[in-house]
Amino acid sequence: MCGIFGFYLNRPLKDKDIEKGHAAISKLTHRGPDNLGVWHDKAKGLFLGHTRLSIQDTSSQNNQPYLDSNLSLIFNGEIYNFLEIRKDLKKSGCVFKTEGDTEVFAKSWQKYGEKSLNIFDGMFSFCLFQNNTLSLGVDIFGEKPLYWYQSKEGFYFSSEPRPLVELLDLKVDLIQENVNQFLMLGYIPSPNTIYKGLNRCEPASIINISEDGRFSLRKYWSRPEQYIGKGKVLPATSIELDKIEDALN
Angstrom CA distances, 173 to 170, 179, 181, 189, 192, stand at 9, 10, 14, 15, 11
Q: Which amino acid is at 114?
A: E
Residue 76 has phi, psi (to 5 degrees) of -125, 125
Task: Round the CA-based radius of gyration of the chain to a whole number and report it.
Answer: 20
Would you say 111 and 92 are in contact if contact means Cβ atoms under 8 Å apart?
Answer: yes
Would you say 212 and 45 are in contact if contact means Cβ atoms under 8 Å apart?
Answer: no
Closest CA to 87 of 69, 104, 68, 66: 104
Would you say 76 and 2 are in contact if contact means Cβ atoms under 8 Å apart?
Answer: yes
In the residue annotation, 94 being an active-site residue is answered as no
Strands (E), the chain: 3-9, 35-41, 46-52, 66-68, 71-79, 122-130, 133-138, 147-150, 154-158, 199-200, 205-209, 215-219
CA end-to-end span of the chain = 25
Starting at the edge strand that comes first in sequence, how are the strands of the sheet with 147-150 ordered?
A: 35-41, 46-52, 3-9, 154-158, 147-150, 199-200
Q: Which amino acid is at 33?
A: P
Alpha carbons 104 and 95: distance in angstroms, whole number: 10
The catalytic residues are 2
